[in-house]
């Protein structure tokens, strides 16, 4: 059983924040140096405190849906990223995304719903109680991390818009704005980035929309201001900087599938028994560790999610 109730020994947001103060200061100094070196400095727009990366999120409750494993250091979580809208170089995403304005920000929720709605991100944060959940993230490239997310169940937002009987799938879309996301000026992927889930996957209690990590507002490189986290699926399903959530009758075509359907499927469940055509998925490197570890079926969340796929051939529906 990998989902457990939180223990007193679990790291608390306040402990984490103390550690991050040090890092924030370092980041602040780095930013100050960068700004000093820049000759033309644009006047910043007014940005609410809640919007700035590094700001502590308040009223965050610990969730029972959490694991008891050593956390990947904040520095690695925020400086080893996949976010092709900025760059394909993992270690450069943080710098390329620095200064990305994630406010004002709205998310349209429409399609096969009775009550379509457009949420302002800060209203959504107030409306849906925030929880901290420590989850494994397993990338399709065979590395993994353990991240303390802050967010809320996607199911809460979906219930608010009341899916119709035709709403069988949920499609998510990232912001398309090559001015602000310079990686979109290159055709490395078909833009905008799109992902999809079956409605029952989207409604599963483990599926969350994250607005923060390590007790702080989500940094741009991790998908500010809002990204999906589905811990039993490969990381590419965890779409970042979402602007639209659409309920559909037909299965959406996700970006990686459009890009290369032989290598990337719709389901993308972590599965050590089904290899990627170019590499094995049986083992993974946990960032910060030397030896590889075995990859667990459904990333270790099988007890909770295997029932969603009863009777399905997971080699065919990869």
Interacting residues toward ligand MTE by CB under 6 A: 81-85, 137, 139, 174, 193, 222-223, 235-236, 238-241
Nearest residue (CB) to ligand MTE, 161 versus 268? 268
Distance between CA atoms of residues 183 and 255, nearest Å: 15
Q: What is the CA radius of gyration of the chain?
A: 19
Is there a contact between 251 and 169 (Cβ–Cβ < 8 Å)?
yes
| Closer CB to ligand MTE, 160 or 243, in the complex | 243
* Distance, CA of 98 to CA of 101 (rounded, Å): 9
Take residue 307 and report the two structure tokens written for it: 């029932």
Closest separation between CB of residue 59 and ligand MTE, Å? 23
The whole-angstrom separation of Cα 136 and Cα 285 is 12
Give the shortest CB-189-to-ligand MTE separation in angstroms.
7
Q: How far is the CB of 139 from ligand MTE (least distance, A)?
A: 4
In the complex, minimum distance from the CB of residue 290 to ligand MTE, in angstroms, rounded to a whole number: 20
Of 81 and 269, the one with the shorter C-beta distance to ligand MTE is 81
CB of 237 to ligand MTE, least distance (A): 7
Q: Which is nearer to ligand MTE, 82 or 248 (CB)?
A: 82
- Beta-strand runs (E) in the chain: 60-62, 106-111, 117-120, 130-138, 143-153, 169-174, 194-198, 208-213, 216-217, 227-229, 242-248, 283-286, 293-294
Chain-centroid distance of CA 225 in Å reads: 10
C-alpha–C-alpha distance, residues 122 and 224, integer Å = 12
* Phi, psi of 185, deg, nearest 5: -75, -15
Residue 241 φ/ψ, nearest 5 degrees: 40, 60
> Is the CB of 241 or the CB of 281 nearer to ligand MTE?
241
Strand 227-229, strand 208-213: pairing: antiparallel
**Residue number closest to ligand MTE, CB atom:** 235
* Residue number, 223 or 225, with CB nearest to ligand MTE: 223
d(CA 311, CA 314): 9
**Residue 85 or residue 284: which is nearer to ligand MTE going by CB?**
85
Task: In angstroms, give the least distance from the CB of 41 to ligand MTE.
Answer: 28
Find the shortest distance in angstroms from Cβ 211 to ligand MTE: 13
State which residue, 153 or 212, has the beta carbon closest to ligand MTE. 212
Q: Cα(260)–Cα(277) distance, rounded to whole angstroms? A: 11
Residue 137: CB minimum distance to ligand MTE, A = 6
CB of 247 to ligand MTE, least distance (A): 20
Token match 């049986």: residue?
282
Task: Give the nearer residue to ligand MTE in terms of CB position, either 63 or 222.
Answer: 222
Residue 62: other Cβ atoms inside 10 A: 17
């Amino acid at each position: 059983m990998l989902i457990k109730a939180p223990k007193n020994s679990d790291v608390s947001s306040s402990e984490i924040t103390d550690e991050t103060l040090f890092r924030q200061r370092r980041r602040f100094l780095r930013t100050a140096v960068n700004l000093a070196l820049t000759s033309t400095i644009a006047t910043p727009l007014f940005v609410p405190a809640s919007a700035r990366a590094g700001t502590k999120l308040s009223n965050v409750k610990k969730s029972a849906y959490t694991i008891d494993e050593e956390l990947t250091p904040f520095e690695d979580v925020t400086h080893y990223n996949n976010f092709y809208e900025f760059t394909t170089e993992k270690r450069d995403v943080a710098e390329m995304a620095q200064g990305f304005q994630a406010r004002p920000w709205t998310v349209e929720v429409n399609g096969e719903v009775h009550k379509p709605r457009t949420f302002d991100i800060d209203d959504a944060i107030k409306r849906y109680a925030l929880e901290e959940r420590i989850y494994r993230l397993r990338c399709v490239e065979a590395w993994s991390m353990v991240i303390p997310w802050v967010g809320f169940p996607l199911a809460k937002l979906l219930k608010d818009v009341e899916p119709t009987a035709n709403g069988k799938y949920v499609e998510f879309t990232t912001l398309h704005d090559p001015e602000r996301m310079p990686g979109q000026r290159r055709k490395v992927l078909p833009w905008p980035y799109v992902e999809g889930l079956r409605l029952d996957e989207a409604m599963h209690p483990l599926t969350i929309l994250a607005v923060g990590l390590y007790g702080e507002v989500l940094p741009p490189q991790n998908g500010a201001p809002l990204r999906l986290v589905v811990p039993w699926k490969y990381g590419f399903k965890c779409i970042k900087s979402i602007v639209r959530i659409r309920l559909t009758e037909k299965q959406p075509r996700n970006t990686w599938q459009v890009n290369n359907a032989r290598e990337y499927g719709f389901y993308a469940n972590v599965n050590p028994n089904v290899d990627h055509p170019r590499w094995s998925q049986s083992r993974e490197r946990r960032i910060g560790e030397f030896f590889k570890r075995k990859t667990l079926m459904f990333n270790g969340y099988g007890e909770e999610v295997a029932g969603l796929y009863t009777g399905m051939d997971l080699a065919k529906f990869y």
